[in-house]
Amino acid sequence: MGEYGELYARGRERIIDVVGTADPGTAVQTCPAWTVKDALAHLAGVAADILAGNLEGAPGDPWTAAQVDARRDKTLDEVVAEWQETGPQIDAIVDSFGPTGAQLLFDLTTHEHDIRHALGLPALLELPAHAVALGFVLESFGGGAPGPLQIATPEKTWLVPGGDGPAATLTASSFDVLRAMSGRRSERQIRAMRWEGDPTPFLPMFASGPFTMPTEDVVEG
């Protein structure tokens, strides 16, 4: 098992541990259409679809919705049991996926924090998966900056190339940048982060790809 496999296995084990005694109908505020069971159904569904080669439309909304719908009549325990069976098979092969492996860890880590937030659990602020997930999201959705943006985290400093506009630097934890880049921070929260330079021209980066900034603050910690 390689690095990504180990990170995926650890994340899966943490998620299964916290949902074990959870109310499956608990609303996930950061994914408003989902309950905790729906979020778990998506994660288990991703593993199942990868193993079945069912990747048409991935990772779009219809593909994701089909995973949740297919497990609508299953109990939370049944969804957990499915993932416990398929997950180790993903552990063994995820390092061969290339950039898609980082995407899988981004999805896993994002929804791990979503579930913890929904259950009122403290955020896990320092996970090795954060840097991998952040690398994916910056490369995928960080384009189109009006000027160069340096993102300084304790693990790594990232440079997002941009146009001819002024440069800026954002200094924050990988956790906070990752949550901001995945639509889990409001504009007010993003502006309140530690910036050198005007954050205004860079705000569209935080509402790119499939993500939008929430209108209300998302408080985690």
Q: What's the whole-number mean pLDDT along residues 126-142? A: 91
Sheet hosting strand 194-196, strand order edge to edge: 157-160, 149-152, 168-171, 194-196
Q: Which residue has the higher pLDDT, 156 or 208?
A: 156
User: What pLDDT is attached to residue 140?
Assistant: 85
Whether residue 143 is predicted with pLDDT greater than 90 in this model: the reply is no
Domain ranges of the chain: 3-118, 134-207
pLDDT value, residue 41: 98
C-alpha angle 219-197-190 in degrees, rounded to nearest 5: 15
* Closest by CA position to 17, among listed 146, 120, 148, 112: 112
The reported pLDDT for the residue numbered 213 is 94
Q: Is the pLDDT of residue 144 over 80?
A: no
Q: Among 215, 216, 191, which residue's Cα sits nearest to residue 201?
A: 191
pLDDT bracket for residue 65 (50, 70, 90): very high
Percentage of residues of the chain with pLDDT beyond 90: 88
Query: What integer is the mean pLDDT of 49-76?
Result: 96
Q: What is the pTM of this model?
A: 0.95
Q: For residues 44 and 67, what is the distance between their CA atoms, to the nearest angstrom?
A: 8
117-132 average pLDDT score: 96
The span from the CA of 155 to the CA of 99, in Å, is 19
